[in-house]
Chains A and B, each alone.
Chain A
Amino acid sequence: MKRNTSCLAALLACSGAASAQGSVTLYGVVDAGLLYQSTAAASFAPNAPNLGKVYRYKDGGIYASFWGLKGSEDLGGGYKLNFRLQGSFDTGTGRSGLSDTPGVPASFNQFATIGLTGPFGTFNAGRQIVPMIYAMFDTDVRGAQYFGSILTAWLGMNQVAGWSGTSTNAAIGALYDSNALVYESPKFYGASVALEYAPGGVPGQFKGGTRESAVLKYSNYGLNLSAVYYNGHDTSPLPGVAPTGLNNNRFMYFGAMYTFRDFSVSGSYSRGKNPANTGRADYDLYAAGLGYRFSPVLKVTSGFYYLKDNNNSTNHSSEVAVGTEYSLSKRTLTYAQVGYVDNHGTMNQTIVYGQPVAPGKSTTAAMVGVRHNF
């Protein structure tokens, strides 16, 4: 899947500077498909008009397309130094993915980390995908993917809480955090813990812009269990609002997934709110999933996601998604998926990441595509 690119390694060797480098790997994924959706909107605004049916080229039906470089150096004594630089891009337009500043892309918007692995576990510093996302991934049959999953449902919670979708700075929880320090413990009889702290670096405000999270995981006997606590200060601020250390982002998640024979089932409960002003954001999310693997190369997964606003009972949203993946080779798969979402009030839970739906309406979407690892 990921192979060492000998020419790149040779290039680095020639330069002489990388002589101590253990290995460098160039890797990535290209994922593209065609999407049909019965409603569309130009933004996540609660009053965005329905622009009608859309039929389009869509990047990332499973996850984003991306490329990256990673490497490690053996320091001896069981310790390894690792680095990872990874950025997403849109195969439709060639554009780079977003950073945490609205409208501004970043070359390495997914990962820019330096870290250490050893007997103590793993430590990574820099911009990265945060532990809560892996906790959700481990306990969702749909695998927190871009089309109808716990990820799009959680983003639906963010959209109704005011996240505009123009940056990766979410209102509730986070997919990526900048300046993050993340520790992951080794597994002890299937149990492990992950801790995150991201200093905000705001002068004069020690808590300004900080993030902290903890994840507990268990994985054995065919069972994955995850518990998440995420807390953020000054997240998703309006433009021009100075960080003051306001504690305005809290996300909690409890999930389980069980695998037996060729089936897998999952379920979870999440709660997201603005602890500084619960009247502004307080949501519950319930999820269920069921999957079946017909053969090593063919699987079908389904999920149901119900989102509700505890401040306004007219705002609620239910989504179902079913998808099938067929592997053509170890590195290439094709997929077909359909989803249906019934949004009420100002809810605008999407079916696929990157294509807004009209708020308060029911929407159907279908997508076929190909995903290739290199």
Chain B
Amino acid sequence: MKPNAYRCAALIVFLAMGVISQVTEANAAASTPSVASAASAPVATRTQNRALRRSVYAAFAKDKAIDAGDIGVSAKDGDITLTGTVGDAAHIGKAAELASGVPGVRSVTNKLTVKRPFGQ
């Protein structure tokens, strides 16, 4: 009874938090078809945003030092925002430099911080 209720509560909290955090993405995905019938311009923009985001990650993948598993990249009309963490202070500037070198990137907002290594 009590443990089950507790577990349910914990799960609900996690799921709810997960749902909230996914809403923005889900909205973006779900609204795509309806927008497509209304007007074509925003669809192209969304597709372009997504493609640009992928290109930035592809640029990170080519770099030996940058570890992009903890970097969030969001793109909006050529404006890139970098969130999350990198392994070394020198990688903060390096990541921004790589992102701004990607064709189609207009600006880079850098919110990266250094990840604390395990045990440190």
Question: Which residue numbers of A lie inside 8 Å of B, CB to CB?
Answer: 29, 63-64, 66, 110, 129, 133-134, 137-138, 143-144, 186-187, 189-190, 218-224, 257, 259-265, 288, 290, 293, 296, 302, 304, 306, 318, 320, 342, 344, 373
The answer, among B3, B84, B118, for a CB contact under 8 Å with A344, is: B3
- When chains A and B are docked, how far (Å) is the Cα of A127 from the Cα of B6? 41
Q: Which residues of chain B from 18 to 43 have any CB-CB distance to chain A below 8 Å in the complex?
A: 18, 21, 24-25
For residue B7, which residue of chain A has the nearest CB? A318
- When chains A and B are docked, how far (Å) is the Cα of A306 from the Cα of B21? 23
Residues B69 and A261 in contact, CB atoms below 8 Å apart: no
Residues A220 and B83 in contact, CB atoms below 8 Å apart: no
- When chains A and B are docked, how far (Å) is the Cα of A187 from the Cα of B63? 9
Residues A220 and B10 in contact, CB atoms below 8 Å apart: no
Residues B120 and A220 in contact, CB atoms below 8 Å apart: no
With contact pairs A187-B67, A219-B67 given, residues A259 and B21 touching in the complex (Cβ less than 8 Å): no
Residues A342 and B70 in contact, CB atoms below 8 Å apart: no
Residues of B with C-beta under 8 A to A257: 69-70
- When chains A and B are docked, how far (Å) is the Cα of A77 from the Cα of B15? 52
- When chains A and B are docked, how far (Å) is the Cα of A260 from the Cα of B17? 14
Range of interface residues on B (Cβ < 8 Å) = 20 to 34
For residue A295, which residue of chain B has the nearest CB? B111
B108 within 8 A of A: no
Residues B120 and A190 in contact, CB atoms below 8 Å apart: no
For residue A260, which residue of chain B has the nearest CB? B72
B51 within 8 A of A: no
With contact pairs A66-B119, A259-B83, A304-B10 given, residues A265 and B72 touching in the complex (Cβ less than 8 Å): no
Residues of B with C-beta under 8 A to A293: 83-84, 113
Question: Which residue numbers of B lie inside 8 Å of A, CB to CB?
Answer: 3, 6-7, 10-11, 14, 17-18, 21, 24-25, 54, 57, 60-61, 64, 67-74, 81, 83-85, 111, 113, 116, 118-120
Residues of B with C-beta under 8 A to A63: 118-120
Residues of B with C-beta under 8 A to A29: 120
For residue A133, which residue of chain B has the nearest CB? B118
Please indicate which of the listed interface residues B10, B18, B85 has the most CB atoms of chain A within 10 Å of its own CB.
Answer: B10
- When chains A and B are docked, how far (Å) is the Cα of A260 from the Cα of B32? 20
Known contacts A29-B120, A220-B69, then 13 further A-B pairs from the complex at CB < 8 Å, ordered by chain A residue? A63-B118, A63-B119, A190-B69, A219-B68, A219-B69, A220-B60, A221-B54, A222-B72, A223-B69, A259-B83, A260-B83, A306-B7, A318-B6
With contact pairs A144-B118, A261-B83 given, residues A224 and B21 touching in the complex (Cβ less than 8 Å): no
With contact pairs A29-B120, A265-B21, A373-B120 given, residues A318 and B3 touching in the complex (Cβ less than 8 Å): yes
Residues A261 and B119 in contact, CB atoms below 8 Å apart: no
List the 3 closest A-B pairs by CB distance, nearest first: A219-B69, A224-B69, A137-B118
Residues A186 and B69 in contact, CB atoms below 8 Å apart: no
Please indicate which of the listed interface residues A29, A288, A306, A344 has the most CB atoms of chain B within 10 Å of its own CB.
Answer: A288
Residues A320 and B10 in contact, CB atoms below 8 Å apart: yes
Residues B74 and A260 in contact, CB atoms below 8 Å apart: yes
A sample of 13 cross-chain residue pairs with beta-carbon separation below 8 angstroms, ordered by A number, consists of A133-B118, A220-B60, A259-B70, A259-B71, A259-B84, A260-B25, A261-B81, A263-B21, A265-B21, A290-B18, A293-B113, A304-B14, A318-B10
- How many whole Å from B76's CB to the nearest CB in chain A? 12
For residue B65, which residue of chain A has the nearest CB? A187
- When chains A and B are docked, how far (Å) is the Cα of A29 from the Cα of B120? 7
Residues B118 and A143 in contact, CB atoms below 8 Å apart: yes
Residues A221 and B6 in contact, CB atoms below 8 Å apart: no
- When chains A and B are docked, how far (Å) is the Cα of A344 from the Cα of B7? 13
